[in-house]
Every structure is written in structure tokens, then in C-alpha cells.
Structure 1
Amino acid sequence: MRSVIGNILGFVLLTLLSTSVNSSPGVVFVPPITSPTSTSVRTGKSVQNVTWDVSNPPANITNKIGTILFRSADFTTLLILADNFDILLGTIEITVPWVLTGNDYSLNLIGDSGNFSPNFTIIQAD
């Protein structure tokens, strides 16, 4: 009888402890990229700002650490242009990759979800 009561009390105590922990659920934050735009022309090897809208973030973001990946022809590459920054900064400097001149380049801003910039143009450096 004692072991049954002990097991019940242990279960109740464990349940109370696990439910008293404040674990607010996080919210996925997908800030839209505001620059570069579809009319942007960037030069390879130049330093440029990438910006995104952080005007209305949720209170509990699931991942505040950002990464920016390079995209070419609608495929995300493994080229990391910026990493390990606070997604709430709203801007970060990158070095534009030295690639062939083209107008099908974009960026992938990743925090806890991915968001693509519009396609923009990169021209080769002189």
C-alpha cells in the first residue's frame, strides 16, 4: 500500500513540477527583405547592405539568430554571406559574390524560417 501511495505522490509531484515551468511557445518570424529589390543592381565584390522589415516582431521568436545565403536561378546555394547575427537588427553588410553578370540572383534570409528577396542583378566588377 505504501509503494502505491508513494508512486501516486511521485507522479503528482512530477506532474506539478513539469507544468509549473514557464515555456511560452515560440512564434515563427518571417521578416520581408526590403533590400535588395527587383530593381537593384549590385557589383560583384562590393560591400552592400541587406535590409529587412523588423517593425512588428512577435514577443517570442523561436530563433533570433540569422543567416543569409546566396541564391542563383531560384536555387539556394551553400554560400553563406552573413551568419550568426540578431535577426532583429534589420540590416547587415555583405560582400556581393563575384559571379557572372545576371539578373536571376536573390538572397535567402533565415532565422527560424526562410524568406527570399526578389531577384536582382549582379554585374561583374571592372
Structure 2
Amino acid sequence: MMFTKSLMSSFFALMSLLALAMSIPVQKRDVFVPPVVYPHQGTVWYAGQQQAVVWDTSNAPANITNSEGIIYLVVDNLIDFDYELASNFNILDGKVQVVVPTVSTGTYAIVLFGDSGNFSQNFTIVAS
């Protein structure tokens, strides 16, 4: 009998928490995922040069959850956190200058973080 009372108490406590959770209003959050337009497939960057990373801000929502941007190099389809190319810029700027890192000649991409991560198309970096 004690087990049944304990089980019933737990059930009612769980139902009370569920009712409380359902009564809390959900705030709308706008997540902005601007497409990266440069670099794109066919682009060639040279190590040590300065280049612009460009993204499309034309469909930006009025309220963005996180407007601070950061860009990393993508190596072998994985984000390489050792290659931070830019940070502390406003995602609504639409572009930022970066210095092309000294890496082996090969195929790379970049990822733009703000509200979420958005990858560029693959492009080439040529070692100096």
C-alpha cells in the first residue's frame, strides 16, 4: 500500500510539473542563417593574402538571437577550431576581411557562426 501512495504522489507531482511547463509562455526566437556567397566553388585563395568573406543578409529577421559572428576554416569537412579567421563582428555586416591562413594546398570551406553555423561551398587555398 505504501508503494502505491508513493507512486501516486510521484505521478501527481509529475503531472503538476507538466502543467506548469505548459503554462509558461514560449518566447519566439529568430535564428538567422545567412547563406555564404563568397568564397564559392571555383574560388582560389592564396595563403597570406587578405580576402573578404561575404554572406547574404537580405532576409535577416528583425530580432536576432545572437548577432556576434565568428568564422572558422573547415578542413576535410570538419570545423578546425585552430583556424579562427575572424570574430567579434556583427552578423548583419554582410562581410568581413580575413587573412588566408598558411595551410597546405587543398580544398577547404569556411563556416560562419552567429545564430547558427552556415558553411560555404568548397574552394581552394594555395600554399605560398
**Shared fold per TM-score greater than 0.5:** yes
Q: Secondary structure at the match of 2:92?
A: helix
1:59 corresponds in structure 2 to 62
Task: Give the Cα separation in 2 of the matches to 1:113 and 1:56.
Answer: 15
Alpha-carbon distance in 1 for matches of 2:37, 2:91: 14
d(CA) in 2 for partners of 1:26, 1:34:
25
Q: CA RMSD of the aligned region, Å?
A: 1.4
Q: Return the offset for 1:124.
A: 1.1
SS of 1:88's equivalent in the other structure is helix
Structure 2 counterpart of 1:67, which letter? I
Conservation of the 8 A alpha-carbon contact between 1:25 and 1:60: no
Question: Which residue, out of 88, 97, 107, partners 1:93?
Answer: 97
Structure 1: gaps (5+ residues) = 1-18
Change in 2 beyond 3 A, CA 1:68/1:93: same
How much does 1:24 deviate? 5.6
- Displacement, 1:36? 0.2
Is 1:26 the counterpart of 2:29? The answer is yes
Tell me, in whole angstroms, the C-alpha distance in 2 between the residues paired with 1:107 and 1:61. 21
Q: Distance in 2 between the 1:64 and 1:24 partners? A: 18
Normalising to structure 2: TM-score of the pair? 0.77
Q: Output the CA distance in 2 between the equivalents of 1:68 and 1:99.
A: 16
Q: Unpaired runs of 5+ in structure 2?
A: 1-23
Structure 1 segments of 4+ aligned residues over 3 angstroms from their partners: none
SS at match of 1:28: coil
How many residues are paired up?
103
